[in-house]
Amino acid sequence: MGNVKNSIADIIDGGYQVRQDAIDQRHKDDVLNSRLRKKIAEDLSPDLHIDRDAGFLKLAESDFPETRAVIRQGLELASSVRDRVKKTTAEKTRKKYRIFQSRSFDDPQVLHSPIFRFALDPRLIGMVSEYLGYVPILSMVNFWYNPNSFIVRKDDLPFLSDRAPALLGHLDWADNTLVKVFIHCSSVTESNGPVVVLNPQDSARIRDKANYRYANIKNTSDDPCETNGLYLDDGIIRTHLNGAPKTMPLVGEPGTVYVADTSRCFHYGGRNTSTDEARLLGVLLYLRPGALKLSTKYEEILPLQHLSSPSLPLIDRLVLGENINS
């Protein structure tokens, strides 16, 4: 069994096509109700659509009724940890702080909180299902808080990225395509460390030319065409694009919502150039059933499955990760 686990781990850390072949096979094997999820997705008629050529979509507070309640929930949670975060996160690691702790999901009542109601919104699920081709699995629900106590200067990146590698460009390793949702609970400006994305076309060029590997470590290779880790220095990205990349900072006022495919689009975040404003985001992650992160041979990661119950609509049960007996 140990050899199988290592084999799956090698696939996950490997190149794009090796990963895609394994994902395709998992879907053929009907992992996590793949066939049922695909059939339901094909029958849906969403009114919101993610453009695959763009890789992201900007939405407004008015698109989802729970947005304002999610903002209030995030602000309340942030206020309860603000002083502690400033002392730990900002000074020692410079990483974003996840406000929801794992024990928060032990209570089934969390399903009725604003961010979960948002996550299960039928319009959102319809849009994500159309894009991914399957009714997705909700893999992460959280709030990300960056106190921005210190400015991140470009010259500091090589040092800071050892402790906060998401400051560097990367693709998310969970799958070769996914949907991540960012709900702005505070104003997000170019100075307070927004998530910044590259378009899918430039991202594919970097991925192919760098022989990109999805090992969840900072790249240490000196060869820009033979990388060995997930997080790439800016210089490698510039090398393969023959100059500075065209980037899209996901900025906006509170209530702005972005959906982005952060497995197809290189991205980074947290490079704040000012200490005037903290950054607070609600974050959701939706995966296909064949996503390598959900591989039961590698690591059992269905953290929300226990929240499902027969009283819920079928799509909600699938989104929470329940394995439906056919």
Question: What are the per-10-residue average pLDDT scores of the chain (326 residues)?
Answer: 62 95 96 97 97 96 96 93 63 68 84 97 98 97 90 84 89 97 97 96 98 95 96 96 94 98 97 92 97 76 88 97 86
Distances (CA, A) of 238 to 14, 36, 123, 203, 297: 23, 43, 38, 11, 37
Total number of domains constituting the chain:
1
Q: Can you give the pLDDT at residue 89? A: 53
CB 255 within 8 A of CB 184: yes
181 backbone dihedrals φ, ψ, rounded to 5°:
-110, 130
Residue 101 domain-assigned (yes or no): yes
**DSSP state for residue 245 in the 8-state scheme:** P
Residue 324 domain-assigned (yes or no): no
Largest CA distance in the chain: 56
Distance CA 176, CA 214 (A): 10
**Which CATH number goes with the domain that contains 206?**
2.60.120.620
Q: Can you give the pLDDT at residue 5? A: 47
Q: Can you give the pLDDT at residue 97? A: 80
Residue 326 domain-assigned (yes or no): no
Pairing of strands 97-98, 137-146: antiparallel
Distance CA 259, CA 50 (A): 8
Sequence letter at residue 193: G
229-235-240-246 Cα dihedral, nearest 10 degrees:
110
Q: Can you give the pLDDT at residue 93? A: 54
Q: Can you give the pLDDT at residue 3? A: 47
Question: What domain range includes position 286?
Answer: 2-319
Report the predicted TM-score, pTM, of the whole model to 2 decimal places: 0.94
Residue 209 domain-assigned (yes or no): yes
Residue 98 domain-assigned (yes or no): yes
Sequence letter at residue 216: N
Residue 17 domain-assigned (yes or no): yes
Closest CA to 59 of 74, 73, 49: 49
Distance of CA 128 to the CA centre of its chain: 13
Specify the 3-state DSSP secondary structure of 68. Answer: helix
11 backbone dihedrals φ, ψ, rounded to 5°:
-65, -45
Question: Which residues have a Cβ under 8 Å from the Cβ of 215 and sit 6 or more positions away?
Answer: 13, 173, 228, 229, 230
Residue 55 domain-assigned (yes or no): yes
Q: Can you give the pLDDT at residue 157? A: 85
Sequence letter at residue 101: Q
Residue 325 domain-assigned (yes or no): no
